[in-house]
Structure 1
Amino acid sequence: MPLLMVALGVLFLIILISRFKLNTFISLLVVSFTVAFGLGIPLGKIVSTIESGIGGTLGHIAFIFGLGAMLGKLVADSGGAHRIAMTLINKFGEKRIQLAVVIASFVVGIAMFFEVGLVLLIPIIFSIARELKVSPVYLGIPMLASLLVTHAFLPPHPGPTVIAAAYKADIGTVLLYGIIVAIPCVIISGPLFTMVAKKIIPSAFEKAGNIESLGEQKIFRVEETPSFGVSLLTAMFPVILMMISTIISMIQKTAGIKGNSFFTIVSFIGDPDTAMLISLILAIYTMGVRRKIPIKQVAASCSSAASSIGMMLLIIGGGGAFKQVLIDGGVGKYIATLFNGTSISPILLAWMVAAILRISLGSATVAALSTSGLVIPMLANCGHVNLALVTLATGCGSAIASHVNDAGFWMVKEYFGFSMKETFSTWTLLSTILSITGLIFILILSLFV
């Protein structure tokens, strides 16, 4: 009965979003109330369950999410992201242009959300493709692979950040392991997949694409943008702080060193909230004050970033409400009972559940949050589980098979001028390969950590 209620709830959510075009946040709330009632949660507790789900989810990530959006906006508006991309492309040259695109997109992708990175990078990709007389898709596939892998694996992106909070996994460790897994994934689903895609669907590589819907693009002159080193440091600074803190913490535990004020300070600075705040302050200086940009203009960029993520925060909160309903309604415990005594890996289970929900719902973040509500109770019966790897597996599963119910599918289709068949054969297949490859490398990594 619990699983039937979840299935009906997911079906109801799909109908509300796809058939009736109802706002995703409202749809999640309606489904959360409906499923809570169906699961037998007392009427007096339904509202408090949903409130705790929203509050518990947003309470941890709103800070990171908001500051991350502001950081990305400052780097983009100042021309820093443009400088990073163009410098790497020029340094690597024509022969290694795909590798340059992968690295540039990876760096930009860490600082920005998937859709923002796509809109920012795609005009650069089209411009370079025209200059080198190559297909935009030849450069577009590596770009998409890099952006998707950062979106699925690396904090401070919404998915991995929210999932890490739900599983109570250390975000720094998730970031460290995420980078280890991301590197082979992006190579396989990017440059290597491009060679396969050219044989599978050659017509896609003949398309000129169409980015008119992006409107007039801001033209940056090199002398007006921050230097490459400053831009790179600013974009990567939160990652650097969190990585340093995680590595020092691992060394301390491995060597059995007792805690002292040094380790306390390092841990404080490397905490995601602190790291994001320090990084934003640095960005305000490097991208604004240092370049004598009026503080009003800097503040306007920050305000614009904050307003643009409002609906995304509500959707994440709605996903958190649905997750809490699944937990309080006993669905997770029911699944844990079903799998009790079996040898299935929590990593594999998290990936499978997230993949099914992603294909059904379209939203990677909602799929990931819903997965955590089903998997968390099972983890209690699994003995020692690496929560960072379960986090990555959930994010990895939620990236699979982007298709018609995902906004990213339509963005890729329109910008590259693909037919439906070409979009499925490139973007959908790319996201599937990335997800499966990610699972394989996560399972391999689990043998060593």
Structure 2
Amino acid sequence: MTLLIILLAVLALIALISWGKVNAFLAFLLVTLPTGLALGLPPARLLAAVQQGLGDTLASVALVVVLGAMLGKLVADSGAARQIAGVMVGAFGPGNVQWTMLGAGFVIGIPLFYNVGFLLMMPLIFSVVYQYRLPALYVGLPMLAALSVLHGFLPPHPAPTALVAQFHADLGLTFVYGLLVAVPAVVLAGPLYARTLKGIVSKPPPGLVAEQAAAGPLPGRLNSFLSSLLPVLGIAVVLGIKALVPAGGALAAGLGFLADPGVVMLLSVVVATFSLGVAQGRVVPAVMSTFGAAVADVAPILLIIGGAGALKEVLVASGVSQELAASLRGTGLPPLVLGWLLAGFIRVCLGSATVAGLTAAGVMLPMLAHSPVNPNLLVLAIGAGSLLFSHVNDGGFWLFKEYFGLSVKDTFRSWSMMETIVSVVGLLGVLALDWALPLLGL
């Protein structure tokens, strides 16, 4: 009976979001409350679990997600992202344009959310297309594949950050493992697969190239790269120094404080406020306006994360988590594969990668206490599953279709297949790491 209740809850969530077009946060609450009652939680305990789930989940991710959104918005508005992409295209030339766009997507995708990176980079993509007379998908797909993978796999993007917190994974290790998995996934889904799509004719809407030409002066090259990559560089430097000093001392404690993702992101935002804001002639209130817009953009995502946390906490408080974990173990599937399948199923049904990842995490969480699975790899497996086969119920599908001027059929052949390749190769990469890490003593 318990498993039937959970199944009905997931199906109700899918129905509300996909068919009923209900806001995802509201859908989580509408499903969570009756689910808790059906599982036998008293009303007072149910409300306490919902509040605890919301509070604990948002407390663990809000700082990194909000500060990451602020940094990404400033990188976008200042022109630093366009500077990075333009420098890389100019440096490597048209003969290597696919690999250049892939590299630019990796650098830009670390601080930028997918939709922001997509809209920001489309004028650049079509400028390259027209300048070098190359097929649009051949040029654009590698960059968009990189943006998509980073959105699904790596902190500080919302879903991976929330999964790291829920599974008590190590953010730095998850980031490093995520890069190792992301590279082959993006190479196969981007430059290599895009070569099979040269025959697809793209008819983009007018004005994209003009938008790029009309942009104002850009920040300097070194400034753009360093400001965008400051969170990654900061964590790498601090952890490198920490590895060289004796453990347990005051210096090690201080370095541990500086290596905290929230502290790193805060320092990065402060530095970028001056390097990409004040130093470029913008007054502080204008930079704060940019940050305010970033918070508005990310608020709906934070609510979805909080709603998923509420559902997770209700499952834990009801005691169903133990029964669910035992049932999932009974399937005989490895936890990494099971997490990928759950996230992929919800993704195909709902269209939202963020909702798919968070919902699958709530179901998989009980297994961590009864399985030796590596939590860092489980974050990546679920992230890979959350990208599986984007289609007509995903806003990203239509965004790609309309900007490239494609038919639905060609969008399936290009965008949907690219996302599926990324997802499958991501799972294979996670399984390869799961096999290799113990051999390396990690």
Shared topology, TM-score over 0.5?
A: yes
Tell me the SS of whatever aligns to 1:448.
Answer: helix
SS of 1:401's equivalent in the other structure is coil
Task: Name the CA distance, whole Å, in 2 between partners of 1:324 and 1:246.
Answer: 33
Tell me the secondary structure at the aligned position of residue 399 of structure 1: coil
| Equivalent residue letter for 1:242 | I
Which residue type is aligned with residue 238 of structure 1?
P
CA distance in 1, matches of 2:154, 2:239: 14
2:70 is aligned to: 70
- For residue 110 of structure 2, give the secondary structure of its aligned residue in structure 1: helix
Query: Is 1:331–1:374's contact at 8 Å kept on the other side of the alignment?
Result: no
Helix, strand or coil for the counterpart of 1:437?
A: helix
- Residues 314 and 92 of structure 1: CA distance in aligned 2, closer, same or farther (over 3 Å): same
1:208 pairs with 2:203 = yes
Residue 59 of structure 2 aligns to a residue whose secondary structure is: helix
Measure how far apart 1:216 and its partner are.
5.8
- For residues 95-123 of structure 1, the C-alpha deviation after alignment (integer angstroms, 9 at most, x for no partner) is 00011101111111111101111011111
**1:281 counterpart = 2:276:** no
Relative to structure 1, the CA distance from residue 105 to residue 388 in structure 2 (aligned partners, 3 Å threshold; closer, same or farther) is same
**Residue deviations 1:20-64 (CA, integer Å, cap 9, x gap):** 322222122111112222222222222111111111111111111
Aligned partner letter, 2:377: L
Q: CA deviation at 1:212?
A: 6.1
Counterpart CA distance in 2 for 1:176 and 1:248 is 17
Secondary structure at the residue paired with 2:333?
A: coil
- Rounded to whole Å, the distance in 2 between the matches of 1:333 and 1:17 is 28
TM-superposed CA distance for 1:247, in Å, is 5.0
Secondary structure (helix, strand or coil) at the match of 1:220 reads coil
Which residue does 1:414 correspond to in 2? Answer: 402
Does the 8 Å contact 2:178/2:380 carry over to 1? Answer: yes
**Structure 2 equivalent of residue 147 of structure 1:** 147
Deviates more, 1:229-238 or 1:412-421: 412-421
Task: Give the equivalent residue in structure 1 for 2:440.
Answer: none
- Cα distance in 2 for partners of 1:218, 1:156 equals 31
Contact conserved, 2:308 with 2:362, CA < 8 A, in 1?
A: no
Q: 2:229 aligns with which of 236, 253, 267?
A: 236
The reply on whether 1:381 has 2:376 as its aligned counterpart is: no
| Aligned twin of 2:34 | 34
Question: SS at the partner of 2:357?
Answer: helix
Name which of 181, 194, 214 aligns with 1:219.
214
The amino acid that maps onto 1:385 is V
Q: How does 1:46-125 map to 2 (within 5 A)?
A: 46-125=46-125
In structure 1, distance between residues paired with 2:104 and 2:78: 16
For the 8 Å contact 1:73–1:302, the answer to whether it is kept is yes
What SS is found at the alignment partner of 2:95? coil
How many angstroms apart in 1 are the aligned matches of 2:166 and 2:37?
23
Partners of 1:215 and 1:45 in 2: CA distance: 58
Distance in 1 between the 2:210 and 2:165 partners?
Answer: 37
Unaligned runs of 5+ in 1: none
Measured in 2, the distance between the counterparts of 1:219 and 1:64 equals: 33
The CA deviation at 1:366 is 1.5
* Distance in 2 (alpha carbons) for counterparts of 1:215 and 1:56: 46
Q: Distance in 2 between matches of 1:329 and 1:392?
A: 28
Pick the aligned partner of 1:352 from 328, 341, 352: 341
8 Å CA contact retained: 2:14, 2:346: no
Note the C-alpha offset of 1:447.
2.1
Cα gap change, 1:332/1:405 in structure 2, threshold over 3 Å: closer, same or farther?
farther
C-alpha deviations, 1:296-334, integer Å up to 9, x for none? 211111111112222221122112222223333444322
**C-alpha separation between the residues in 1 aligned to 2:178 and 2:45?**
37
Where does structure 2 lack aligned partners over 5 or more consecutive residues?
Answer: 438-442
Distance 2:206 2:320 in 1: 45
Provide the rounded CA distance (Å) in 1 between the counterparts of 2:276 and 2:204.
Answer: 32
Q: Which moved more, 1:305-314 or 1:239-248?
A: 239-248
**Matches of 1:390 and 1:118, distance apart in 2:** 27
Q: AA paired with 1:140?
A: G
**Length-normalised TM-score, structure 2:** 0.93
- CA distance in structure 1 between the partners assigned to 2:68 and 2:21 by the alignment: 29
2: CA distance between counterparts of 1:82 and 1:76? 8
Query: What is the aligned-residue RMSD (CA, Å)?
Result: 2.2
Match of 2:385?
A: 397
Which deviations, in whole Å up to 9, do the C-alpha atoms of 1:129-160 show, x marking residues without a partner? 11111121111211111001101111100111
Q: Secondary structure at the match of 1:315?
A: helix
**2:127, 2:209 within 8 Å by CA — same for their partners in 1?**
no
**How much does 1:218 deviate?**
7.9
The answer to whether 1:270 aligns with 2:259 is: yes
In the alignment, the residues of structure 2 paired with residue 85 and residue 374 of structure 1 have an alpha-carbon distance, to the nearest angstrom, of: 39
Q: Structure 2: how far apart are the matches of 1:334 and 1:145?
A: 38
Query: Cα deviation per residue 1:347-397 (whole Å; 9 max; x = unaligned)?
Result: 222212211122122221122111122112112111x33211111111111
What is the CA–CA distance in structure 2 between the aligned matches of 1:340 and 1:307, rounded to whole Å? 41
Q: Normalized against structure 1, the TM-score is what?
A: 0.92
Deviation at 1:211, TM superposition (A): 6.4
Report how many residues are paired: 437
Preserved contact between residue 327 and residue 373 of structure 1 (Cα < 8 Å): no
Q: Distance in 2 between matches of 1:427 and 1:373?
A: 28
1:345, distance to aligned residue in structure 2 (A):
2.3
Inter-CA distance 118–331: structure 2 relative to 1 (3 Å threshold): farther
Contact 1:355–1:397 (CA under 8 A) maintained in structure 2: yes
Return 105-114 or 292-301, whichever deviates more.
Answer: 292-301
Is 1:288–1:298's contact at 8 Å kept on the other side of the alignment? yes
